[in-house]
A and B are shown apart, each in its own frame.
Chain A
């Protein structure tokens, strides 16, 4: 059964590309916090919880938001949309922030709201809460982007009917260095799947291509 990438979001090198369209660009990025806030404001998203998230969750949240914003409500059956994300730094960015708050015994004020984000898979939780997703999910950690790992995991879910579709990709942040690529993968059952950017099979080559969008410059302004 063929699987297609029917939508994608790329965030990297100051650029945000959604389905081949460059929707946001910041030439000089002072901090990730400023970058992602500017994107959030531009896209006129209203979700106060966003401000309380850690950096990894903000990055994943924005990817999913831009990925699913044009999907018709109810297109995916409850529990049929899975989420499989990966990165290399896990939740280290937030772990370090938390460690900072507990390293000084004379000013020992561990923050509960930071602590809850000291697990990488919380980003998936935030996405699932926002979009009411109840499907399978997994967060994988590997030293570098591993398209084969994503391909195998997502294919297993779809081929064994444990999911009807899957949001998958790479969401990496450490300090002010960040990169994300999140794709929506669906099964092509009857040749009716349509995308706004042409047909893209769910393959290692496609995932690599999407991860290196800025090098290939295949988006349109």
Chain B
């Protein structure tokens, strides 16, 4: 899980152009939106694309997004769970 969390941090930084933020700056349990990294609605769409592009996971119900993208850890948990099912 920790390996996936670190990989995700790097991917999020690249995908969202968070140039002033390093892997160490991201607390895997901090909220991604509002506070924490202060991401916006366009970033949310980019995260959906990231899951599909890098992990082949398509989010069918947009309502799930809030839970999945709460933090880096919740994203990692969702990917792990989804990959087990596949």
- Is B53 an interface position by the 8 A CB rule? yes
Interface residues contributed by chain A, number (CB under 8 Å): 9
Q: Which of A145-194 contact B (CB under 8 A)?
A: none
A109 to B50 CA separation, bound complex (whole angstroms): 9
Min CB–CB distance B4 → chain A (angstroms): 21
Residues of A within 8 A of B19 (CB): 48, 51
Partner of B20, one of A51, A109, A112, A116: A51
A110 to B17 CA separation, bound complex (whole angstroms): 16
| Inter-subunit contact B49/A111 (CB<8 Å) | yes
Residues of B within 8 A of A111 (CB): 46, 49
B44, closest chain A residue (CB): A112
- Is B59 an interface position by the 8 A CB rule? no
Residue-wise interface mask of B (44-59) relative to A, using a CB-CB cutoff of 8 A (1 in contact, 0 not)? 0110010011000000
> How extensive is the interface on chain B, given as a class?
10 to 19
Residues of A within 8 A of B18 (CB): 48, 51
Min CB–CB distance A98 → chain B (angstroms): 13
Q: Which of B13-59 contact A (CB under 8 A)?
A: 16-20, 38, 42-43, 45-46, 49, 52-53
Partner of A112, one of B17, B45, B52, B53: B45
| Inter-subunit contact A113/B45 (CB<8 Å) | yes
- Is A52 an interface position by the 8 A CB rule? yes
Residues of A within 8 A of B38 (CB): 48
The 6 residue pairs across chains A and B that have the minimum distance between CB atoms = A112-B45, A51-B19, A51-B17, A109-B53, A52-B17, A113-B42
> What are 17 A-B pairs at a CB distance below 8 A?
A48-B18, A48-B19, A48-B20, A51-B17, A51-B18, A52-B16, A109-B49, A109-B53, A111-B49, A112-B42, A112-B45, A112-B46, A113-B16, A113-B17, A113-B43, A113-B46, A116-B42
